[in-house]
Structures are given as structure tokens and as C-alpha cells.
């Protein structure tokens, strides 16, 4: 069977985010969970009219359709995870610069307020899901989504995300989601990736 949607390579080595995210967590999260979403998606669309569609088209085509929820979950999780890996980098965190810094100030009244809002969204997402920074109608806002849900289907432009499924942190932090979220925000967020997404959002 040909896989039309590939598991993208990680943008850094598996141990590059340690100690915030260990190589062991990455080996399961990327090597098992993300890979399984990609493999399942390819199986589910094989032989259908979506067999050759790019990932974003698959997500848009099945979003909100009760009989296509399996395809949606695996397609959105494939996209969300690739976006998450790119939202992080070794030696990240700190403060954004340029247009990104201006947008954070304009939309949140400063970086510390943004940090609190993102952290609050990550902490109050009950159960599995995602915390996001998104751009919509020229403004930035924080959002959270449950399970595989993604802001892509609501027309917002994702800027950054944090995976708050337990598989993202349990090996390293057990039940301490707050410690994981704080460390990711302060030490891993990739503001260059965020800036590129903001520039595309226009």
C-alpha cells in the first residue's frame, strides 16, 4: 500500500528538547502516537476519493461529518502533531520580536498576560486536547480544543500550539501538567515559527 501522507521528520533530534521533553517521551509521542495517526489515516482513506488529497483538504472534507469521524481524528491529529513539533525548538521560549512582539502587545497587553492566558487554556482544557495561539481577523487570541479538534476548521490561522494530551507529558511530569506547560512556554516555544505563521495570516 502506498502512503500518500508521510510522517514528516522531526525538525530536531529526538533528544534535543530534553530535559523539558525527554527523548523517551519523544520516542513514544512522535515515534508511536504521531506515526500511528499517519498510518491509520492512510489506511482509512486508501481506495476512497480522499486517497490522493493533501492533508488539509482531507481535514476540511470530513470535518463535522459524523460518519467520517475516524478519518477526521487521524487527519487532524496528524496535522496538529506536525504543527506542535514545529511550535517548539531547543533553546526556545523567551520573548518574541518584531511584528510578533507588536501583535502580542496589541492583543494581550503584554507578553506576561499572553503567557497567563495560554497557560490557563492549557490547564483548563479538561482531558485530552490542545492549547493554541491563533490569528483571526487581524488579532491574536488564545484558544483550546478537545481531542483532535483543530482551529483550522474554524477559519482561524494557527500560530503556536501545545499538546496537553497526557501522552505529551506523563512520562516526564506524571500528573503535573502545569509544570510541563510552564517549561514548554518558557524554554521551548519557537517564536520564529510563530512569526512566519503570523506573516502568512496577513
Binding site for Fe ion (CB under 5 A): 163, 165
Please report how close the Cβ of residue 138 comes to Fe ion at its closest, in angstroms: 30
Nearer to Fe ion, 165 or 180 (CB): 165
Least distance in Å: CB of 8 to Fe ion?
Answer: 14
Say how far apart CA 164 and CA 147 lie, in whole Å.
9
Question: Which residue lies nearest Fe ion, judged by its C-beta?
Answer: 163
Q: Closest CB to Fe ion among 55 and 103? A: 55
Closest CB to Fe ion among 84 and 108?
Answer: 84
Distance CA 40, CA 29 (A): 15
The nearest distance, CB 130 to Fe ion, in angstroms, is 8
User: What is the smallest separation between the CB atom of 81 and Fe ion, expressed in angstroms?
Assistant: 6
**81, three cell numbers:** 502533531
Q: Least distance (Å) from Fe ion to the CB of residue 127?
A: 13
Residue pair 86/97 in contact (Cβ under 8 Å)? The answer is no
Task: Identify which of residues 114 and 165 has a Cβ nearer to Fe ion in the complex.
Answer: 165
The closest of 53, 59, 51, 52 to 78, measured between CA atoms, is 59
Task: Closer to Fe ion by CB, 80 or 119: give it.
Answer: 80
Amino acid at each position: 500500500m502506498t502512503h500518500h501522507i508521510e510522517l514528516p521528520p522531526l525538525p530536531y533530534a529526538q533528544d534535543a528538547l530534553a530535559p523539558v521533553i525527554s527523548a523517551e517521551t519523544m520516542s513514544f509521542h512522535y515515534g508511536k502516537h504521531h506515526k500511528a495517526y499517519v498510518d491509520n489515516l492512510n489506511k482509512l482513506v486508501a481506495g476512497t476519493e480522499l486517497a490522493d488529497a493533501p492533508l488539509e483538504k482531507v481535514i476540511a472534507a470530513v470535518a463535522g461529518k459524523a460518519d467520517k469521524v475516524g478519518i477526521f481524528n487521524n487527519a487532524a491529529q496528524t496535522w496538529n502533531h506536525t504543527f506542535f513539533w514545529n511550535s517548539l525548538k531547543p533553546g526556545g521560549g523567551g520573548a518574541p520580536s518584531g511584528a510578533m512582539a507588536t501583535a502580542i502587545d496589541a492583543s494581550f497587553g503584554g507578553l506576561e498576560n499572553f503567557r497567563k492566558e495560554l497557560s490557563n487554556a492549557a490547564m483548563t482544557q479538561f482531558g485530552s486536547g490542545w492549547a493554541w495561539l491563533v490569528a483571526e481577523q487581524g488579532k491574536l487570541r488564545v484558544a483550546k480544543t478537545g481531542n483532535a479538534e483543530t482551529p483550522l476548521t474554524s477559519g482561524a490561522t494557527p500560530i503556536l500550539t501545545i499538546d496537553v494530551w497526557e501522552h505529551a507529558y506523563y512520562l516526564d511530569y506524571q500528573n503535573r501538567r502545569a509544570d510541563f506547560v510552564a517549561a514548554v512556554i518558557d524554554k521551548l516555544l519557537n517564536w520564529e515559527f510563530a512569526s512566519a505563521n503570523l506573516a502568512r495570516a496577513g
